[in-house]
Amino acid sequence: MDWKLFVSTFVAIFVAELGDKTQLATLSLAAGRSSRLTVFGGAALALVATSAIAVLAGDAVSRFVSPVWLRRAAGLAFLAMGLLFLLGRGESPS
């Protein structure tokens, strides 16, 4: 196992999810409920399922597109989204 890749993936996803709407939704579902373990199980399974889809999609796409170009495209997409939000065009409609 590539432990460096494992740890860097864990840290990146952990930091990205802190304060995310997913975490807030899970918090609200667990608040006042008697079965917090059920909420944890559902949330954990959902995150595992979405991660599995991302890994499978990444594997499929990487067969046709170089990982270097995938990283560049992802970086450009994040920059574009950041600029849209900074310019106020990323606001949700009221």
Domain of residue 16: give its range: 3-49
What's the one-letter identity of residue 41?
G
Residue 8 lies in a domain: yes
Residue 69 lies in a domain: no
Q: Average pLDDT in the 25-30 region?
A: 90
Residue 82 lies in a domain: no
- The residue assigned the tokens 């860097």 is 8
Residue 84 lies in a domain: no
Residue 87 lies in a domain: no
Angle, in degrees to the nearest 10, between helices 36-62 and 67-86? 120
Residue (of 38, 48, 58, 41) closest to 17 by Cα position = 48
- The residue assigned the tokens 């920059």 is 79
Number of domains present in the structure of the chain: 1
Note if the pTM is more than 0.75: no
Specify which of 18-22, 81-85, 88-92 reaches the highest per-range mean pLDDT.
81-85
Residue 91 lies in a domain: no
